[in-house]
């Protein structure tokens, strides 16, 4: 490591600036921006799925414009993100959590866990991305490890210590903000 | 082939019944039902993506129920269907057309064509499913053939004769109604 004693003050400022600029950046923003980076650089094609809605009523205020005037949110039956990366089918769910100690499984819908099990069986690369906002740490947890934990434990949550041990910390950067495919390359 | 001369009349009735029962079955219904069959039999996990909407206003008539009161349809930036089939990333768009002679490219959004090119580059199994309702024939067209046609032709549509020659006719059945993965197994 190269040290720049003369630039110490500058580096600190920069660090503070970066940290401040990251404040309020949600996991979803980071992922969308990362996926856009992957798209622009032809690294992968990964999209967030639109929120599933039940449309009840549509009005046509003008000839070409349909306006939805009554719709409700549906429980998602799949994960939020999927796509393809160099022949690999990618499928994951991402969650942010303020807890310091664990990630409760209640944050995932039963349908989503079932979906992850099924795509895993179909040999997709399936995983969770969990951000512990208290530590500003974001981990990738392969589904094989997640299911192994779920199937051999009574616990209804993943302890932070387990995540730190078994998950992969995703390095946070400027652009892309969350280069999670680097982890996929490793595992 | 075994012939049942005594049951000829019954067979004809059955055929007519089947044909009548298929009337009004849209391509989307056939695909949803086929994908459900794949899911139930653990053959593949393929879903139709929700329609992308821009939500402008949400009301909360009761504490737990959010009601969307203003939203608009967005132009889709991806195809409608994707998923995973035995390690293969699947991505396709499906269109029904009443024309007897051709499938105009104007039926696809520019974004969708761009998306298909990109997932094809990422080694997904990308294709179109086109139903010519006049003939009640449904074809699978691999993207490699589609792009080859687009890049070497001035035409703005796929002629029906070309589709018949270069595409793969998907056999229509009862359940699943449209076993398109059989074609993927062949090609």
Q: Is residue B24's pLDDT more than 70? A: no
Q: Is residue A90's pLDDT more than 60? A: yes
Instruction: State the DSSP H helix or E strand holding residue A11, giving kind and residue range, or none if neither.
Output: helix A8-22
Q: What is the pTM of this model?
A: 0.84
Give the per-residue pLDDT at A17.
Answer: 42
Give the per-residue pLDDT at B65.
Answer: 84
Quick one: pLDDT band at residue B22, thresholds 50, 70, 90?
Answer: low
How far is the CA of B178 from the CAs of A178, B17, B20, B91, B138, in angstroms?
40, 18, 17, 16, 8
Q: Is residue A3's pLDDT more than 70? A: no
Give chain B positions within 8 Å (CB) of A73: 66, 68
CA nearest A86 in B: which residue?
B122
Give the per-residue pLDDT at B187.
Answer: 86
Give the per-residue pLDDT at A19.
Answer: 45
Instruction: State the DSSP H helix or E strand holding residue A30, giving kind and residue range, or none if neither.
Output: helix A27-40
Give the per-residue pLDDT at A137.
Answer: 97
Give the per-residue pLDDT at B77.
Answer: 86
DSSP state for residue A156 in the 8-state scheme = S
pLDDT above 70 covers what percent of chain B?
Answer: 87
Q: Is residue A118's pLDDT more than 60? A: yes
Q: Which of A17-26, A50-59, A115-124, B52-61 has the lowest mean pLDDT?
A: A17-26
Quick one: pLDDT band at residue A166, thresholds 50, 70, 90?
Answer: very high
**Contact flag B118-A42 (C-beta cutoff 8 Å):** yes
Quick one: pLDDT band at residue B5, thresholds 50, 70, 90?
Answer: very low
pLDDT above 70 covers what percent of chain A?
Answer: 87
Count of CB atoms within 10 A of residue B41's CB? Answer: 9
**Predicted ipTM beyond 0.90:** no
Mean pLDDT on A88-116: 95
Mean pLDDT on B135-152: 97
Distance from CA of A10 to the nearest CA of B (A): 42
Report A:55-94 residues touching B (Cβ under 8 A).
55, 65-74, 77-78, 82-91
Concatenated DSSP letters of B84-138: EETTEEEEEEEEEE--SSEEEGGGS-HHHHHHHHHHHHTT-EEEEEEEETTTTEE
Q: Is residue B152's pLDDT more than 70? A: yes
Out of A56-65, B70-79, B116-125, the most confident range is B116-125
How many cross-chain Cβ pairs, A to B, lie less than 8 Å apart? 108
Quick one: pLDDT band at residue A22, thresholds 50, 70, 90?
Answer: low
Give the integer Cα–Cα distance in Å for B73 and A20: 36
Give chain A positions within 8 Å (CB) of B184: none
User: Tokens for A111?
Assistant: 């349908």
> For chain B, where are the alpha helices, taking DSSP H only?
8-22, 27-40, 110-121, 143-151, 160-166, 181-186
B133 or A75: which carries more pLDDT confidence? Answer: B133
Pairing of strands B45-48, B81-85: antiparallel
């Amino acid at each position: 490591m190269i040290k720049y004693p003369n630039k110490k003050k500058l580096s600190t400022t920069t660090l503070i600036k970066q940290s401040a600029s990251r404040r309020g950046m949600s996991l979803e923003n980071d992922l969308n921006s990362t996926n856009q980076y992957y798209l622009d650089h032809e690294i992968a094609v990964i999209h967030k799925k639109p929120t599933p809605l039940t449309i009840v009523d549509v009005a046509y205020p003008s000839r070409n414009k349909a306006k939805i005037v009554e719709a409700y949110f549906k429980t998602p039956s799949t994960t939020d993100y999927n796509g393809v990366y160099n022949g690999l089918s990618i499928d994951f769910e991402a969650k942010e959590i303020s807890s310091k100690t664990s990630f409760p499984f209640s944050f995932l819908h039963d349908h989503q866990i079932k979906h992850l099990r099924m795509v895993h069986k179909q040999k997709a690369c399936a995983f969770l991305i969990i951000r512990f906002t208290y530590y500003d740490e974001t981990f990738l947890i392969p589904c094989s490890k997640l299911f192994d934990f779920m199937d051999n434990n009574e616990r209804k949550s993943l302890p932070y210590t387990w995540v730190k041990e078994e998950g992969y910390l995703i390095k946070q950067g400027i652009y892309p903000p969350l280069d999670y495919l680097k982890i996929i390359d490793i595992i």
